[in-house]
Structure 1
Amino acid sequence: AQGYQFQPSEQVRESDTIVSLVATGSGAAILPQLSVFHTPEGVTVCQLPQPLQRVVVAATPKDTDLSHAVWAFIDFLKQTDLSQI
């Protein structure tokens, strides 16, 4: 990474907490866009030059017969460009 070594000092899971830490000047973060839908005062959001990829899965109950509607939804997801979510 161009001579920089990334060493996070804290690990936080909740997006709201991360955004609050950024707002108080405690650092910066890379977050999903939905996490900063309501940007607090003091936080600037900028689009990254290259979109990051994430794996999206469909979760269903184990050992359960799924309805036709659920299968149709899963088929829809498989055929849809999910890169914008």
Structure 2
Amino acid sequence: MIQQPLNGCPCCGYRTGCTTCPVCVLNRCGHRDTDTGAVTGRPNGEVSLRDARRNFSIYRASHRRYRDVVRPSRSDELP
């Protein structure tokens, strides 16, 4: 069986394979690099991809309210 490489999370870059990234808690639906400043609404609420990336650099989570629910990345998930 050939394994397909997983795309990295648009916020943190880790390749978790989940719709909601457990490393930063960003839901991948609705975010693209072409519109990093756009607020797409649900499921990420008022957080744009640009804001989520900045929050990740500060809090290690896409939003500071998720600081207590994120998990550390694993070595097999590195970008």
Shorter-chain TM-score range: under 0.3
Using the size of structure 1 for normalisation, the TM-score is 0.23
Q: RCO higher in 1 or 2 (8 Å CA, sep ≥ 6)?
A: 2
| Greater Cα radius of gyration, structure 1 or 2 | 1
The structure with the greater share of residues assigned to helix is 1
Using the size of structure 2 for normalisation, the TM-score is 0.23
